[in-house]
Amino acid sequence: MSTQIRTVTVLGAGVLGSQIAYQSAFKGFPVTVYDIDDDALAAARKRFDKLVATYRAEVPGGADGAAEAALDRLTLTTDLGQAAADADLIVEAVPEILELKRQTYQELAALAPAKTLFATNSSSLLPSDLKDATGRPDRFLAMHFANKIWFSNLAEVMGTSETDPKVFQEVVAFAEAIGMVPIEIHKEKAGYVLNTLLVPFLRAALELVAGGYAQPGDVDNTWRIGTGAPAGPFQIYDVIGLRTPYNIMVHGDDEAQQLAAWLKKNYIDKGKLGLESGQGFYKYT
Ligand code: NAD
C-alpha cells in the first residue's frame, strides 16, 4: 500500500517525538519538527545527533551515509504556524498532559490547512479525549509508537468512532512507509494492544517476587524456557526503567500501590532504576 502523505510535522521533539521525526526522515520524508523554545530545539539537535550514531551502528543501511542524510531532511522551528502550514500529517508527541494536548490541538485547528491529518502518540489518553479540540474529528486518530522505534517498529493505529476509515487506512499506509509494522485497532482501548498485554504481565511477575515466591532471575528463566520468548519480565522492566511502572502502579488499586511501595523501597530509593542507571533487577556494565 503506498501513502499519499508527502510532508510530515512532529510536535514535541522529546524522547519519542525525536525518534518519530528522525525515523520518518530516515525513510525519505521531509519533516518539520516543532518545539516550544530554542532550548528545547537545542536538546532536540542533541537527540538527533545521538540517533545518527545509533542508526549508523544498529540500522541496516544506516552506515552508508543514510543516517547523516536523514538530518538534512529535518527542519526545526519554534513557529507553530510555520510547522503546520504545509503538513499532510502532523504527529503530536507533546507531554502527556490532557489540557496541554487539548490546547495544542485548539491552536493547530486554526493554523493547519483543511487537508492535514492529525495523529496523537499519547500512551494513556484515548483519542476521544482530544477529538473535539482538533476541529476535525474525522481526520484525527492515534498512532502510538514504541520507544526505540528503529528496533521496536510497531505503530498501533486507533481511531475514534468519528475517524474517517480512509484516513485510518492512509495513516496505516504511512506507518508502513516509515518502516513500522502497523497494528490496526478497531475500537478504542486504553493501553492499545501492547500495554493491555504487558501491564498485567509485568504486574504478575512483580507479585511473584515481592511476595517472596521466586527470584527475578528464576521468573525470567521460567518465561524464557517455558515459552521461547527472548526476554523475561524483569529484563523488560530494566529496559523500560522502573520509574514508569512505579508511576502506573502508584495510582492503581490497593495491591498495585503495595507493589509500587515495594519497588520504591527495594530498587528506586537505592538508585536501581533499570538499564539506564546501570542497575535494576540486573547489573549492567
Ligand atoms: P518528553 O517529555 O520526552 O518530550 C516532550 C516534548 O514536548 C519536549 O521536547 C517538550 O519541550 C515538548 N513540549 C512541551 N510543551 C509543548 C507544547 N505545548 N507543544 C509542543 N511541544 C511541547 O515526552 P515523550 O516521552 O517523548 O512523550 C511524548 C508523548 O509520547 C506522550 O504523549 C507519551 O505518552 C508518548 N509516548 C511516550 C513513550 C516513551 O517511551 N517515552 C512511548 C510511547 C508514547
Q: State whether the beta carbon of 78 lies less than 6 angstroms from ligand 1.
A: no
Q: State whether the beta carbon of 63 lies less than 6 angstroms from ligand 1.
A: no
DSSP 125-159: S-GGGTHHHHS-GGGEEEEEE-SSTTTS-EEEEEE
- pTM tops 0.85, yes or no: yes
Give the residue extent of every domain in the chain. Answer: 8-185, 196-277
- Looking at domain 8-185, its CATH class is alpha beta
Beta strands in the chain (DSSP E): 8-11, 31-34, 74-77, 89-92, 117-120, 140-145, 154-159, 181-185
| CA angle, residues 95, 168, 163, in degrees to nearest 5 | 75
- Residue 190 is given by DSSP the state T
Q: State whether the beta carbon of 76 lies less than 6 angstroms from ligand 1.
A: no
Tens-digit pLDDT profile for residues 239-265:
989 998 998 899 889 999 999 999 999
Question: Hey, what's the cell of 53?
Answer: 550514531
Tens-digit pLDDT profile for residues 57-100:
999 999 999 999 999 999 999 999 999 999 999 999 999 999 99
Superfamily of the domain at 196-277: N-(1-d-carboxylethyl)-l-norvaline Dehydrogenase; domain 2 (1.10.1040.10)
CA of 34 to the centre of ligand 1 (A): 12
Tens-digit pLDDT profile for residues 90-110:
999 999 999 999 999 999 999
Question: Hey, what's the cell of 200?
Answer: 498485567
